Structure 1
Amino acid sequence: MTGPIALLGTTSFIPKADNVIVLGPPGVGKTHLAIGLGIRACQSGYPVLFDTAAGWINRLSVAHQRHGGLAAEIKRLRRYRLLIIDELGYLPFSRWGEIFADEPIATAMIDRLIHHSEVLTLDGESYRTRIRRELLEKNTNITT
Protein backbone atom coordinates (compact mmCIF):
# COMPACT_ATOMS: atom_id res chain seq x y z
CA MET A 1 0.00 0.00 0.00
CA THR A 2 1.32 3.40 -0.92
CA GLY A 3 0.03 6.91 -0.45
CA PRO A 4 -0.59 9.27 2.43
CA ILE A 5 -2.43 6.76 4.63
CA ALA A 6 0.39 4.21 4.32
CA LEU A 7 2.90 6.95 5.13
CA LEU A 8 0.91 7.89 8.23
CA GLY A 9 0.95 4.22 9.20
CA THR A 10 4.72 4.44 9.59
CA THR A 11 4.11 6.86 12.50
CA SER A 12 7.00 8.99 11.23
CA PHE A 13 4.93 12.11 11.92
CA ILE A 14 4.97 11.46 15.68
CA PRO A 15 8.66 12.09 16.49
CA LYS A 16 8.49 15.24 14.34
CA ALA A 17 5.47 16.41 16.40
CA ASP A 18 3.51 16.95 13.18
CA ASN A 19 -0.27 17.12 13.23
CA VAL A 20 -2.59 15.03 11.11
CA ILE A 21 -5.93 16.54 10.19
CA VAL A 22 -8.45 14.20 8.59
CA LEU A 23 -11.35 15.93 6.87
CA GLY A 24 -14.42 14.58 5.13
CA PRO A 25 -18.16 14.10 5.36
CA PRO A 26 -19.75 11.86 8.00
CA GLY A 27 -19.36 8.13 7.57
CA VAL A 28 -16.26 7.99 5.36
CA GLY A 29 -13.94 6.53 8.01
CA LYS A 30 -12.27 9.47 9.77
CA THR A 31 -12.72 8.02 13.27
CA HIS A 32 -11.82 4.55 12.05
CA LEU A 33 -8.60 5.91 10.54
CA ALA A 34 -7.79 7.88 13.71
CA ILE A 35 -8.26 4.77 15.86
CA GLY A 36 -6.09 2.76 13.46
CA LEU A 37 -3.32 5.37 13.66
CA GLY A 38 -3.64 5.35 17.44
CA ILE A 39 -3.31 1.56 17.56
CA ARG A 40 -0.30 1.68 15.20
CA ALA A 41 1.30 4.34 17.42
CA CYS A 42 0.75 2.17 20.52
CA GLN A 43 2.28 -0.80 18.70
CA SER A 44 5.28 1.41 17.95
CA GLY A 45 5.65 2.23 21.64
CA TYR A 46 4.09 5.70 21.69
CA PRO A 47 1.64 6.61 24.47
CA VAL A 48 -1.69 7.72 22.95
CA LEU A 49 -4.75 9.49 24.33
CA PHE A 50 -8.06 9.69 22.42
CA ASP A 51 -11.14 11.82 23.05
CA THR A 52 -13.75 13.80 21.16
CA ALA A 53 -13.31 17.54 20.67
CA ALA A 54 -16.13 18.10 23.17
CA GLY A 55 -14.34 15.84 25.65
CA TRP A 56 -11.07 17.74 25.21
CA ILE A 57 -12.82 21.09 25.67
CA ASN A 58 -14.52 19.84 28.80
CA ARG A 59 -11.26 18.42 30.18
CA LEU A 60 -9.35 21.65 29.57
CA SER A 61 -12.21 23.89 30.76
CA VAL A 62 -12.49 22.01 34.05
CA ALA A 63 -8.71 22.19 34.50
CA HIS A 64 -8.73 25.91 33.68
CA GLN A 65 -11.23 26.56 36.48
CA ARG A 66 -8.88 25.09 39.09
CA HIS A 67 -6.00 27.23 40.33
CA GLY A 68 -2.97 25.98 38.41
CA GLY A 69 -5.07 23.18 36.98
CA LEU A 70 -4.60 24.02 33.32
CA ALA A 71 -0.82 24.04 33.59
CA ALA A 72 -0.93 20.73 35.47
CA GLU A 73 -3.26 19.18 32.87
CA ILE A 74 -1.07 20.33 29.99
CA LYS A 75 1.99 18.92 31.78
CA ARG A 76 0.14 15.60 32.17
CA LEU A 77 -0.85 15.59 28.51
CA ARG A 78 2.77 16.09 27.44
CA ARG A 79 3.45 12.49 28.52
CA TYR A 80 1.47 11.37 25.48
CA ARG A 81 3.16 11.45 22.10
CA LEU A 82 -0.12 11.28 20.18
CA LEU A 83 -3.30 13.10 21.15
CA ILE A 84 -6.28 12.24 18.97
CA ILE A 85 -9.11 14.78 18.78
CA ASP A 86 -12.16 13.19 17.21
CA GLU A 87 -15.22 15.02 15.93
CA LEU A 88 -13.31 18.28 15.57
CA GLY A 89 -15.46 19.15 12.57
CA TYR A 90 -18.47 19.46 14.86
CA LEU A 91 -16.81 22.55 16.38
CA PRO A 92 -16.18 24.86 13.38
CA PHE A 93 -12.93 26.80 13.59
CA SER A 94 -14.86 30.04 13.09
CA ARG A 95 -16.58 29.49 16.46
CA TRP A 96 -13.48 28.68 18.52
CA GLY A 97 -13.23 32.23 19.84
CA GLU A 98 -16.79 31.92 21.17
CA ILE A 99 -16.23 28.40 22.51
CA PHE A 100 -13.02 29.30 24.34
CA ALA A 101 -14.28 32.81 25.23
CA ASP A 102 -10.98 34.27 23.99
CA GLU A 103 -10.51 35.14 20.31
CA PRO A 104 -6.69 35.62 20.40
CA ILE A 105 -6.14 32.28 22.16
CA ALA A 106 -8.49 30.51 19.74
CA THR A 107 -6.65 32.04 16.77
CA ALA A 108 -3.30 30.95 18.21
CA MET A 109 -4.60 27.41 18.76
CA ILE A 110 -5.84 27.14 15.17
CA ASP A 111 -2.55 28.55 13.88
CA ARG A 112 -0.55 25.98 15.84
CA LEU A 113 -2.90 23.17 14.85
CA ILE A 114 -2.54 23.69 11.11
CA HIS A 115 1.20 24.52 11.20
CA HIS A 116 3.23 21.36 10.48
CA SER A 117 0.09 19.44 9.56
CA GLU A 118 -0.59 16.64 7.16
CA VAL A 119 -4.10 17.30 5.88
CA LEU A 120 -5.88 14.25 4.53
CA THR A 121 -9.29 14.63 2.89
CA LEU A 122 -11.50 11.57 2.64
CA ASP A 123 -14.47 11.55 0.35
CA GLY A 124 -17.14 9.17 -0.74
CA GLU A 125 -20.48 7.93 0.46
CA SER A 126 -21.18 7.31 4.10
CA TYR A 127 -20.69 3.63 4.88
CA ARG A 128 -23.79 3.77 7.11
CA THR A 129 -25.90 5.10 4.23
CA ARG A 130 -24.40 2.56 1.82
CA ILE A 131 -24.99 -0.39 4.16
CA ARG A 132 -28.57 0.72 4.81
CA ARG A 133 -29.24 1.12 1.06
CA GLU A 134 -27.74 -2.33 0.32
CA LEU A 135 -29.86 -3.88 3.07
CA LEU A 136 -33.01 -2.27 1.69
CA GLU A 137 -32.13 -3.42 -1.84
CA LYS A 138 -31.49 -6.96 -0.59
CA ASN A 139 -34.82 -7.04 1.26
CA THR A 140 -36.63 -5.68 -1.80
CA ASN A 141 -35.09 -8.38 -4.00
CA ILE A 142 -36.08 -11.10 -1.54
CA THR A 143 -39.74 -10.03 -1.46
CA THR A 144 -40.12 -9.70 -5.24
Structure 2
Amino acid sequence: MVDPRLERLERHLTRLKLVSTRERLDTLLDRGAQNEMSFLDFLDLVIKEEIESKDQKRARMRIQMAKFPLDRRMEDYDFSLQPSLDRRLVAELETGRYVANATNVLLLGPPGVGKTHLAIALARKAIEQGYSARFIHAADLVYQLAAASDHGALDEALRVFARPHVLVVDELGYLPMERRSGHLFFHLVRKRYEKGSLMITSNQPVGSWGEMLGDEVVATAILDRLLHHSHIVTIKGESYRLKEMRRAGVVPAKEVAG
Protein backbone atom coordinates (compact mmCIF):
# COMPACT_ATOMS: atom_id res chain seq x y z
CA MET A 1 0.00 0.00 0.00
CA VAL A 2 1.32 3.41 -1.01
CA ASP A 3 1.94 5.81 1.86
CA PRO A 4 -0.68 8.59 1.54
CA ARG A 5 1.95 11.12 2.59
CA LEU A 6 4.04 10.12 -0.42
CA GLU A 7 1.07 10.53 -2.76
CA ARG A 8 0.31 13.93 -1.27
CA LEU A 9 3.95 14.98 -1.58
CA GLU A 10 4.03 13.97 -5.27
CA ARG A 11 0.87 16.02 -5.92
CA HIS A 12 2.40 19.04 -4.19
CA LEU A 13 5.65 18.68 -6.13
CA THR A 14 3.66 18.56 -9.36
CA ARG A 15 1.71 21.66 -8.37
CA LEU A 16 4.96 23.48 -7.55
CA LYS A 17 6.44 22.29 -10.89
CA LEU A 18 9.34 20.60 -9.13
CA VAL A 19 9.47 17.98 -11.86
CA SER A 20 12.94 16.58 -11.24
CA THR A 21 12.31 16.16 -7.51
CA ARG A 22 9.01 14.39 -8.17
CA GLU A 23 10.59 12.03 -10.72
CA ARG A 24 13.54 11.22 -8.43
CA LEU A 25 11.69 11.28 -5.13
CA ASP A 26 12.28 7.62 -4.23
CA THR A 27 15.99 7.90 -5.03
CA LEU A 28 16.34 11.10 -3.01
CA LEU A 29 14.53 9.62 -0.01
CA ASP A 30 16.75 6.53 -0.14
CA ARG A 31 19.91 8.69 -0.28
CA GLY A 32 18.72 10.73 2.67
CA ALA A 33 17.99 7.63 4.73
CA GLN A 34 21.19 5.76 3.79
CA ASN A 35 23.39 8.76 4.60
CA GLU A 36 21.39 9.62 7.74
CA MET A 37 21.06 13.20 6.54
CA SER A 38 19.79 15.93 8.79
CA PHE A 39 16.63 17.73 7.69
CA LEU A 40 18.75 20.72 6.61
CA ASP A 41 21.19 18.60 4.58
CA PHE A 42 18.35 16.72 2.88
CA LEU A 43 16.50 19.92 1.98
CA ASP A 44 19.76 21.38 0.65
CA LEU A 45 20.26 18.28 -1.53
CA VAL A 46 16.73 18.39 -2.94
CA ILE A 47 16.82 22.11 -3.79
CA LYS A 48 20.35 21.89 -5.25
CA GLU A 49 19.46 19.02 -7.59
CA GLU A 50 16.18 20.64 -8.65
CA ILE A 51 17.97 23.88 -9.55
CA GLU A 52 20.66 21.96 -11.48
CA SER A 53 17.96 20.09 -13.39
CA LYS A 54 16.13 23.30 -14.30
CA ASP A 55 19.38 24.98 -15.36
CA GLN A 56 20.24 22.04 -17.61
CA LYS A 57 16.76 22.08 -19.14
CA ARG A 58 16.97 25.83 -19.82
CA ALA A 59 20.41 25.37 -21.40
CA ARG A 60 19.09 22.63 -23.69
CA MET A 61 16.21 24.87 -24.76
CA ARG A 62 18.56 27.81 -25.40
CA ILE A 63 20.85 25.61 -27.47
CA GLN A 64 17.89 24.56 -29.62
CA MET A 65 16.79 28.18 -30.00
CA ALA A 66 20.34 29.22 -30.96
CA LYS A 67 20.06 27.22 -34.20
CA PHE A 68 23.68 26.14 -34.29
CA PRO A 69 24.37 24.29 -37.56
CA LEU A 70 26.98 22.09 -35.88
CA ASP A 71 27.77 20.78 -32.41
CA ARG A 72 31.09 22.43 -31.60
CA ARG A 73 32.70 22.74 -28.16
CA MET A 74 35.83 24.38 -26.81
CA GLU A 75 37.33 21.08 -25.65
CA ASP A 76 37.23 19.81 -29.25
CA TYR A 77 39.20 22.73 -30.69
CA ASP A 78 42.79 21.74 -31.54
CA PHE A 79 44.86 24.78 -30.60
CA SER A 80 48.06 23.00 -31.66
CA LEU A 81 47.01 23.34 -35.30
CA GLN A 82 46.62 27.13 -34.98
CA PRO A 83 49.68 28.36 -33.04
CA SER A 84 48.97 31.99 -33.99
CA LEU A 85 45.79 32.00 -31.93
CA ASP A 86 45.92 34.05 -28.72
CA ARG A 87 44.90 31.40 -26.20
CA ARG A 88 44.80 33.87 -23.30
CA LEU A 89 42.25 35.95 -25.18
CA VAL A 90 40.18 32.86 -25.96
CA ALA A 91 40.32 31.88 -22.28
CA GLU A 92 39.10 35.35 -21.36
CA LEU A 93 36.19 34.98 -23.80
CA GLU A 94 35.29 31.66 -22.19
CA THR A 95 34.59 33.48 -18.92
CA GLY A 96 31.61 35.22 -20.54
CA ARG A 97 32.61 38.66 -19.29
CA TYR A 98 32.35 40.00 -22.84
CA VAL A 99 28.64 39.12 -22.82
CA ALA A 100 28.03 40.83 -19.49
CA ASN A 101 29.69 43.96 -20.89
CA ALA A 102 27.97 43.79 -24.31
CA THR A 103 31.40 43.58 -25.95
CA ASN A 104 31.68 42.45 -29.56
CA VAL A 105 33.98 39.69 -30.83
CA LEU A 106 35.49 39.63 -34.31
CA LEU A 107 36.99 36.32 -35.44
CA LEU A 108 39.12 37.06 -38.50
CA GLY A 109 41.15 34.74 -40.73
CA PRO A 110 41.20 32.79 -43.99
CA PRO A 111 38.64 30.05 -44.71
CA GLY A 112 38.93 26.78 -42.84
CA VAL A 113 40.96 27.87 -39.81
CA GLY A 114 38.21 27.18 -37.27
CA LYS A 115 36.48 30.55 -36.88
CA THR A 116 32.98 29.04 -36.99
CA HIS A 117 34.02 26.30 -34.54
CA LEU A 118 35.25 28.92 -32.08
CA ALA A 119 32.16 31.10 -32.53
CA ILE A 120 29.75 28.23 -31.88
CA ALA A 121 31.80 26.92 -28.95
CA LEU A 122 32.00 30.35 -27.30
CA ALA A 123 28.29 31.00 -27.83
CA ARG A 124 27.50 27.58 -26.38
CA LYS A 125 29.69 28.38 -23.37
CA ALA A 126 27.72 31.62 -22.91
CA ILE A 127 24.49 29.61 -22.95
CA GLU A 128 25.86 27.34 -20.22
CA GLN A 129 26.50 30.51 -18.20
CA GLY A 130 22.83 31.50 -18.47
CA TYR A 131 22.88 33.76 -21.53
CA SER A 132 20.89 33.43 -24.75
CA ALA A 133 22.46 33.14 -28.20
CA ARG A 134 21.49 32.95 -31.87
CA PHE A 135 23.53 31.81 -34.88
CA ILE A 136 22.91 32.94 -38.45
CA HIS A 137 24.90 33.09 -41.67
CA ALA A 138 25.51 36.64 -42.90
CA ALA A 139 23.81 35.95 -46.25
CA ASP A 140 20.69 34.63 -44.49
CA LEU A 141 20.68 37.59 -42.12
CA VAL A 142 20.68 40.26 -44.82
CA TYR A 143 18.14 38.27 -46.86
CA GLN A 144 15.75 38.14 -43.89
CA LEU A 145 16.25 41.83 -43.11
CA ALA A 146 15.64 42.76 -46.76
CA ALA A 147 12.49 40.63 -46.91
CA ALA A 148 11.22 42.19 -43.69
CA SER A 149 11.95 45.67 -45.02
CA ASP A 150 10.05 44.91 -48.24
CA HIS A 151 7.01 43.95 -46.14
CA GLY A 152 7.22 46.92 -43.78
CA ALA A 153 8.40 44.76 -40.89
CA LEU A 154 12.05 45.78 -40.55
CA ASP A 155 11.64 47.11 -36.99
CA GLU A 156 10.19 43.79 -35.84
CA ALA A 157 12.99 41.82 -37.54
CA LEU A 158 15.60 44.04 -35.91
CA ARG A 159 13.97 43.48 -32.51
CA VAL A 160 14.17 39.71 -33.05
CA PHE A 161 17.88 39.85 -33.84
CA ALA A 162 18.53 42.34 -31.04
CA ARG A 163 17.02 40.01 -28.43
CA PRO A 164 19.76 37.38 -27.84
CA HIS A 165 22.63 38.26 -25.54
CA VAL A 166 25.02 36.92 -28.22
CA LEU A 167 24.28 37.09 -31.94
CA VAL A 168 26.73 35.10 -34.07
CA VAL A 169 26.94 36.33 -37.67
CA ASP A 170 28.94 33.78 -39.62
CA GLU A 171 30.88 34.22 -42.88
CA LEU A 172 30.54 37.98 -43.27
CA GLY A 173 32.40 38.89 -46.44
CA TYR A 174 32.44 35.49 -48.12
CA LEU A 175 29.91 36.90 -50.58
CA PRO A 176 29.90 40.56 -51.65
CA MET A 177 27.06 42.68 -50.27
CA GLU A 178 24.94 45.09 -52.22
CA ARG A 179 24.83 48.64 -50.89
CA ARG A 180 21.34 48.08 -49.50
CA SER A 181 22.48 44.99 -47.59
CA GLY A 182 25.28 47.01 -46.01
CA HIS A 183 22.76 49.61 -44.87
CA LEU A 184 20.50 46.93 -43.37
CA PHE A 185 23.46 45.43 -41.53
CA PHE A 186 24.26 48.88 -40.15
CA HIS A 187 20.73 49.12 -38.72
CA LEU A 188 21.30 45.83 -36.89
CA VAL A 189 24.68 46.91 -35.52
CA ARG A 190 23.17 50.18 -34.33
CA LYS A 191 20.24 48.34 -32.70
CA ARG A 192 22.57 46.09 -30.71
CA TYR A 193 25.18 48.74 -29.90
CA GLU A 194 26.09 48.57 -26.18
CA LYS A 195 23.06 46.32 -25.58
CA GLY A 196 24.24 42.90 -26.75
CA SER A 197 27.33 41.15 -28.08
CA LEU A 198 27.84 40.64 -31.80
CA MET A 199 30.20 37.81 -32.68
CA ILE A 200 31.27 38.01 -36.31
CA THR A 201 33.39 35.61 -38.33
CA SER A 202 34.96 36.97 -41.50
CA ASN A 203 37.71 36.15 -43.97
CA GLN A 204 38.17 39.87 -44.64
CA PRO A 205 40.40 42.22 -42.60
CA VAL A 206 38.52 45.25 -41.30
CA GLY A 207 40.38 47.45 -43.77
CA SER A 208 38.49 45.73 -46.61
CA TRP A 209 35.03 46.11 -45.11
CA GLY A 210 34.21 49.26 -47.08
CA GLU A 211 34.46 47.36 -50.34
CA MET A 212 32.83 44.28 -48.81
CA LEU A 213 29.79 46.23 -47.56
CA GLY A 214 29.43 48.27 -50.73
CA ASP A 215 29.69 51.64 -48.99
CA GLU A 216 32.76 53.15 -47.30
CA VAL A 217 30.70 55.58 -45.20
CA VAL A 218 28.42 52.84 -43.88
CA ALA A 219 31.39 50.54 -43.26
CA THR A 220 33.05 53.27 -41.19
CA ALA A 221 29.87 53.75 -39.14
CA ILE A 222 29.58 49.99 -38.60
CA LEU A 223 33.22 49.58 -37.56
CA ASP A 224 33.01 52.61 -35.28
CA ARG A 225 30.31 50.84 -33.26
CA LEU A 226 31.72 47.32 -33.53
CA LEU A 227 35.25 48.26 -32.51
CA HIS A 228 34.28 50.66 -29.71
CA HIS A 229 33.89 47.71 -27.35
CA SER A 230 35.45 44.65 -28.96
CA HIS A 231 37.88 41.77 -28.87
CA ILE A 232 39.58 40.89 -32.17
CA VAL A 233 40.72 37.29 -32.57
CA THR A 234 43.00 36.83 -35.58
CA ILE A 235 43.87 33.36 -36.90
CA LYS A 236 46.64 33.13 -39.49
CA GLY A 237 47.00 29.37 -39.93
CA GLU A 238 46.28 27.02 -42.79
CA SER A 239 42.85 25.51 -43.43
CA TYR A 240 42.05 22.41 -41.35
CA ARG A 241 40.47 20.81 -44.41
CA LEU A 242 43.54 21.51 -46.54
CA LYS A 243 45.76 19.98 -43.87
CA GLU A 244 43.59 16.86 -43.84
CA MET A 245 43.78 16.61 -47.64
CA ARG A 246 47.57 16.94 -47.49
CA ARG A 247 47.71 14.22 -44.86
CA ALA A 248 45.52 11.98 -47.04
CA GLY A 249 47.64 12.70 -50.11
CA VAL A 250 44.76 14.33 -51.98
CA VAL A 251 46.83 17.48 -52.50
CA PRO A 252 50.65 17.70 -52.61
CA ALA A 253 52.52 18.34 -49.39
CA LYS A 254 54.08 21.76 -48.96
CA GLU A 255 57.57 22.09 -50.35
CA VAL A 256 60.17 22.76 -47.67
CA ALA A 257 62.63 25.52 -48.59
CA GLY A 258 66.34 24.74 -48.43
TM-score normalised by length of structure 1? 0.82
SS in 2 for 1:20: strand
Name the counterpart of 1:81: 165
Q: Could you tell me which residue of structure 1 aligns to residue 114 of structure 2?
A: 29
Q: Secondary structure at the match of 2:106?
A: strand
Instruction: State the Cα RMSD in Å.
Output: 2.1
Higher relative contact order (CA 8 A, sep 6+): 1
2:87 is the counterpart of 1:5: no
Give the 3 Å change call, closer, same or farther, for CA 104–71 of structure 1 in structure 2: farther
Offset from partner CA, 1:14-71 (integer Å, 9 cap, x none):
111110001111111100000101111111111111011111111111122222x111
Give the gaps of 5 or more residues in structure 2: 1-86, 177-207, 251-258
SS at match of 1:56: helix
Give the counterpart letter for 1:77 in structure 2: F
Q: What secondary structure does 1:123 align onto?
A: coil
Residue 53, structure 1, aligned to residue 138, structure 2 = yes
Could you tell me how far 1:106 is from its partner in structure 2?
A: 4.4
Residue 115 of structure 1 aligns to which amino acid in structure 2? Answer: H
**Following TM superposition, by how much is the alpha carbon of 1:110 offset from its aligned partner in structure 2, in angstroms?**
2.8
Deviations 1:66-115 (A, max 9, x none): 22x111112222321000011013245123553xxx76544422321222
Write the mapping of 1:1-144 to structure 2, written as runs, cut at 5 A: 3-67=88-152, 69-90=153-174, 91=176, 93-95=209-211, 98=214, 104-136=217-249
- How far is 1:11 from its partner? 1.1
Q: Specify the SS of the correspondent of 2:121.
A: helix
Provide the identity percentage.
41
Partners of 1:97 and 1:104 within 8 A in 2: no
Question: Which protein has the larger Cα radius of gyration, Structure 1 or Structure 2?
Answer: 2
Secondary structure of the corresponding residue to residue 22 of structure 1: strand
Q: What TM-score do the two structures reach when normalised by structure 2?
A: 0.47
Task: State the alpha-carbon separation in 1 of the partners of residues 162 and 138 from structure 2.
Answer: 18
Number of residues of Structure 1 aligned to a counterpart in Structure 2: 133
Q: Report the counterpart of residue 84 of structure 2 in structure 1.
A: none
Alpha-carbon spacing, 1:106–1:60, altered in 2? closer, same or farther (3 Å): farther
